[in-house]
Amino acid sequence: MATANANLPQMKQAIFESHGEAETESLGAALAAVLPNGSVVALDGALGAGKTRLVQAIAAASGVDRQECVSPTFVLIHEYAGRRPIFHFDAYRLRDEDEFVELGAEEYFDRDGLVLIEWAERIERSLPNDRLEIRIRPLGATSRRFEFTAWGADYEQALDALARLPGITSPQ
Ligand SMILES: Nc1ncnc2c1ncn2[C@@H]1O[C@H](COP(=O)(O)OP(=O)(O)OP(=O)(O)O)[C@@H](O)[C@H]1O
Ligand SMILES: [Mg+2]
């Protein structure tokens, strides 16, 4: 862990190991509860890691019909009308980062609601500095490790609140 330094942006980390989709569902519900309006969540991890599955869990907990929530691999963005709007991006098929900017996608970062971005590392330069990063690592057929990095005070607070979910730990 980095030591505290006033010149570095604030940053906090946490880990959650899911042993099945039900636990990922609980994680999604907990995230939906702690993320303030206007949050940006950057999701990374290999094909099939569980990015879309986590988005479905967050969206369902926000009142979105589960059938509506599919991987937006062939369109850049899906918008779901839950108790607050959810903007689901997938940067996988973008030609390059310029295409993201040309599409005006950055405007969504200022909207109320939640912005959830799959393959966020592909548009890293366009992401707001303050954000929650979630990297998903498959551990086995049905187990996944979720690694959280909160950038900025709002997301640090969200991670503090998430720590009440059983199974959340701090990195060694
Ligand atoms: N504990 C778990 N948490 C989440 N998903 C799980 C878990 N166990 C098994 N899975 C399965 O892993 C798969 C995750 O697929 P998903 O589409 O969410 O991946 P993705 O990261 O969005 O991939 P892509 O990069 O192709 O969009 C699903 O088939 C899901 O059922
Ligand atoms: Mg996906």
Location of structure tokens 């909207």? 111
118 dihedral zone (left: phi>0; alpha: psi -120 to 50; beta): beta
CA pair distance 12, 26, nearest whole angstrom: 21
Residue 149: domain span: 19-169
In a domain, 14, yes or no: no
In a domain, 48, yes or no: yes
Low-confidence ranges of the chain (pLDDT < 70): 1-10, 71-74
In a domain, 104, yes or no: yes
Nearest to 128 by CA among 142, 108, 144: 108
Tokens encoding 125:
């330069």
Residue 19 alpha carbon, nearest atom of ligand 1: 1
User: Does any ligand 1 atom lie closer than 6 A to the CB of residue 93?
Assistant: no
CA pair distance 34, 161, nearest whole angstrom: 6
In a domain, 137, yes or no: yes
CA pair distance 151, 131, nearest whole angstrom: 5
Distance (angstroms) between ligand 2 centre and the Cα of 137 equals 14
CATH of the domain at 139: 3.40.50.300
- Report the pLDDT value the prediction gives residue 130, as an integer from 0 to 100: 96
In a domain, 3, yes or no: no
From the CA of 47, which ligand is nearest? 1
- Report the pLDDT value the prediction gives residue 10, as an integer from 0 to 100: 67
- Report the pLDDT value the prediction gives residue 98, as an integer from 0 to 100: 93
Total domains in the chain come to 1
- Report the pLDDT value the prediction gives residue 17, as an integer from 0 to 100: 98
In a domain, 13, yes or no: no
In a domain, 158, yes or no: yes
